[in-house]
């Protein structure tokens, strides 16, 4: 019964998300453009599917994975796990003590990105528009690797206390340099994949990890340092997607060169 | 009917594969690293089934509603040929979908608490609330502005990198001048603005526009709207932090 009430609450919350979109779309379509909806029954069913699907998705995560993931984040960052024994406070530590935290951050960043619904949507579109040269799973894998690296580096930053903007600014410099050399057709998609990675699945778990770290390490403020992990998760996919395109371009070029120069052993 | 069912079963299997990495990571850390049992196994199983079913429904609904809606709107606007209507639509879509976004409301409230703690604004409920509301409006305005500029860019065929890199340089320069407390929030607000429902719609809109305008290539010109929508909030929020 309680679960049902919770489910209804989630659905109404999402309705607040979907309703403005539906009103804007239908308002412009019918009143401004004066065109009837194409196949309204199908569109309506589709919208109900989106709403119901997201509600089930979020509710299921809340029931099954989020509590465990959050608990894990707080256990892995607790002083007694980090230093071993029954240490209650952290007085002296080196960044290597947080070994498992970095591994967990990277693994959970990768895994949650693969399940991110918005990324699935963009990958499907990219696959369709590119005529199949960009595969759905290839793009998702590239983005997930970027998020994994970003979140792991972000936790390292919280542990060491290095200022956030050093990392972000150097990340942007890498993005700019890559933009000069990456295949032109991947650039818009790479930029977009930075924005889609951080939504329903990734944010709750990653934020819990950042908060757990910032609360237990002396001298870190949960409000100042807990924020900022998300920024890492949206910066590094741009780099990894461009790298993915660069590597595959380089490989096809090398393959072609080998074909045209059979007498030239490489 | 049978093909539809078959298609749905296939999509359930796909969703299960999508979820598998999370299960493996959490399982590994729980059993091997933390050396603990799995609590509430029934709940986890039920939740997992809900996630798989939900993801399949979402993907199905995406192809039935959000993708065709976004592309149809783009075709209709191009056919109508009224630029101003299209720009008003782009702005409204960005502003309207962002202002009520739950993730943004949460971030804005937290930002107000930080600002009050740092002595930027008075620590009273009313001052905090007006600060949070102001921040939400600024972010929503930024996303509306982003879609507007993004649509103009598709129409004109400007390369996306000049605008985005210019924007990032703006972010870097502003980081040097913005108050410390606002920087983390500004960076994060770029990420939260694009919700799971907005992303597919905006992607379909951009691709629809690029497809229906001669000389534009969907892959090069159609993508990029989401990037704009995650960039402008950073700039606008830092400006907000500098002004208030």
d(C-alpha B95, C-alpha A214), whole Å: 33
Nearest-neighbour CA in chain B from A64: distance (Å): 4
Q: What is the pTM of this model?
A: 0.86
Judgement on whether residues B46 and B146 belong to the same structural domain of the protein: no
Instruction: Please report, for residues A30, A244, B133, B230, the alpha-carbon distance to residue B218 in angstroms, rounded to integers and kept in the order given.
Output: 26, 20, 37, 20
Distance from CA of B187 to the nearest CA of A (A): 6
Domain ranges for chain A? 1-64, 65-260
Residues B92 and B171 in one domain: yes
ipTM of the modeled complex = 0.85
Q: So what's the pLDDT on residue A264?
A: 47
Distance CA B115, CA B111 (A): 6
**How do residues A49-85 score in pLDDT, each as one tens digit?**
988 998 898 888 888 777 887 788 778 877 777 666 5
B87 and B9 housed in the same domain = no
Per the structure, the count of domains in chain B is 2
- The residue that leads in pLDDT, A170 or A91, is A170
Residue B219 per-residue DSSP state: I
Q: Could you tell me if B93 and B143 lie in one domain?
A: yes
Q: Are residues B42 and B159 in the same domain?
A: no
Distance in angstroms (rounded) separating the CA atoms of residues A4 and A11? 10
Chain A residues with CB-CB distance to B199 below 8 A: 118, 121-122, 195-196, 199
Q: How many other C-beta atoms can be found within 10 angstroms of the C-beta atom of residue B2?
A: 6
Burial code (b: 16+ CB inside 10 Å, e: under 16) for A226-240 equals bbbbbbbbbbbbbbb
DSSP letter at A201? T
Nearby residues of A242 by Cβ (< 8 Å), 6 or more positions away: A175, A178, A179, A182, A186, A187, A190
Q: Distance from B45 to chain A by nearest Cα, in Å?
A: 7
Give residue B2's domain range: 1-62
Digit-coded pLDDT (tens) for A15-43: 777 788 888 888 888 787 777 777 888 88
pLDDT tens column, A163-221: 877 888 899 889 989 999 998 889 999 999 888 876 677 777 787 788 778 777 777 77
Ranges of residues in chain B whose predicted pLDDT is under 70? 1, 118-120
Query: Which residues of chain B have a CB within 8 Å of the CB of A50?
Result: 57-58, 61-62, 65-66, 197
Task: Indicate the burial class of A27 (C-beta count within 10 angstroms; 0-12, 13-18, 19 or more).
Answer: middle
Q: Among A71-75, A93-97, A112-116, which stretch is predicted with the lowest mean pLDDT? A: A93-97
Q: Is B205 on the interface with A (CB under 8 A)?
A: no
Question: What is residue A132's three-state secondary structure?
Answer: coil
Please identify among residues 66-125 of chain B the ones whose CB lies closer than 8 Å to any CB of chain A.
Answer: 66-69, 72-73, 76-77, 80, 85, 89, 92-93, 96-97, 99-103, 110, 113-114, 117
Go through chain A and tell me how many residues it has: 266
Contacting residues for B185 by C-beta, under 8 A, at least 6 apart: A227, B107, B110, B111, B114, B237, B241
Structural domain contains residue B112? yes
Q: Which of A107, A124, A172 lies closest to B25 in CB terms?
A: A107
Residue A187, helix vs strand vs coil = helix
Q: Cα–Cα distance between A213 and A82 in angstroms, integer?
A: 11
Residues of A in contact with B207 (CB under 8 A): 125, 129
SS3 A70: helix
CA nearest to A131, candidates B106, B218, B173, B212: B218
In angstroms, the Cα distances linking A108 to A144, A163, B21, B77 are 10, 24, 8, 42
A-B contacts at Cβ under 8 angstroms: 333
Q: Does residue B201 share a domain with residue B100? A: yes
Judged by phi (left if over 0) then psi (alpha if -120 to 50, else beta), residue A131 lies in left
Helix axes B125-156, B83-99, angle to 10 degrees: 150
Q: Are the C-beta atoms of A14 and A54 separated by less than 8 Å? A: yes
Beta-strand runs (E) in chain A: none
Could B46 and A32 be called an inter-chain contact, meaning their C-beta atoms sit closer than 8 Å? no
Q: Is B58 in Cβ contact with A231 (below 8 Å)?
A: no
CB under 8 Å to A23, separation ≥6 — which residues?
B96
Q: What is A137-164 written as a DSSP string?
A: HHHHHHHHHHHHHHHHHHHHHHHHT--H
Pick from A150-154, A160-164, B215-219: least confident: A160-164
């Amino acid at each position: 019964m309680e679960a049902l009430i919770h489910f209804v609450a989630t659905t109404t919350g999402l309705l607040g998300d979907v309703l403005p979109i539906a009103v804007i779309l239908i308002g412009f379509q019918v009143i401004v453009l004066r065109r009837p909806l194409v196949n309204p029954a199908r569109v309506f069913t589709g919208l109900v599917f989106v709403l119901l699907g997201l509600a089930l998705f979020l509710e299921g995560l809340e029931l099954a994975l989020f509590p465990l993931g959050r608990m894990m984040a707080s256990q892995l960052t607790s002083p007694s796990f980090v230093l071993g024994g029954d240490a209650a406070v952290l007085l002296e530590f080196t960044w290597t003590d947080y070994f498992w935290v970095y591994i967990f951050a990277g693994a959970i960043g990768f895994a949650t990105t693969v399940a991110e619904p918005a990324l699935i949507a963009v990958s499907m579109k990219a696959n369709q528009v590119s005529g199949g040269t960009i595969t759905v799973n290839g793009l998702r894998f590239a983005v997930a690797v970027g998020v994994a690296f970003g979140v792991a580096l972000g936790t390292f930053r919280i542990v060491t206390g290095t200022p956030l903007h050093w990392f972000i600014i150097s990340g942007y410099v890498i993005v700019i340099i890559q933009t000069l050399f990456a295949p032109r057709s991947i650039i818009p998609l790479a930029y977009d994949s930075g924005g889609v990675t951080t939504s329903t699945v990734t944010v709750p778990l990653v934020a819990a990890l950042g908060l757990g770290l910032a609360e237990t390490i002396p001298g870190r403020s949960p409000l100042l340092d807990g924020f900022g992990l998300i920024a890492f998760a949206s910066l590094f996919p741009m780099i990894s997607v461009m790298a993915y395109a660069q590597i595959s371009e380089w490989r096809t070029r090398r393959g072609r060169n080998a074909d045209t120069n059979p007498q030239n052993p490489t | 009917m049978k093909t539809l069912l078959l298609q749905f079963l296939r999509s359930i299997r796909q969703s299960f594969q999508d979820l598998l990495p999370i299960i493996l990571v959490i399982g590994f850390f729980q059993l091997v690293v933390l050396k603990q049992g799995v609590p509430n196994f029934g709940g986890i199983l039920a939740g997992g089934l809900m996630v798989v079913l939900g993801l399949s429904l979402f993907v199905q609904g995406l192809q039935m509603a959000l993708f065709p809606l976004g592309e149809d709107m783009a075709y209709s606007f191009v056919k109508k040929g009224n630029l101003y209507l299209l720009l008003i639509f782009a702005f409204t879509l960005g502003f309207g979908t962002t202002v009520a976004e739950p993730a943004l409301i949460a971030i804005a409230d937290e930002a107000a608490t930080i600002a009050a703690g740092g002595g930027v604004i008075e620590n009273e409920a009313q001052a905090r609330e007006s600060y949070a509301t102001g921040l939400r409006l600024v972010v929503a305005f930024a996303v509306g502005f982003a879609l507007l500029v993004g649509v103009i860019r598709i129409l004109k065929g400007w390369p996306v990198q000049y605008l985005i890199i210019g924007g990032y340089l703006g972010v870097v320069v502003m980081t040097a001048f913005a108050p410390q407390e606002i920087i983390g929030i500004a960076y994060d607000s770029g990420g939260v603005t694009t919700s799971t429902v907005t992303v597919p719609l905006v992607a379909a809109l951009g691709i629809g526009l690029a497809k229906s305008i001669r000389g534009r290539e969907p892959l090069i010109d159609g993508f990029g709207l989401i990037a704009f929508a995650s960039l402008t909030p950073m700039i606008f929020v830092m400006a907000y932090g500098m002004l208030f």
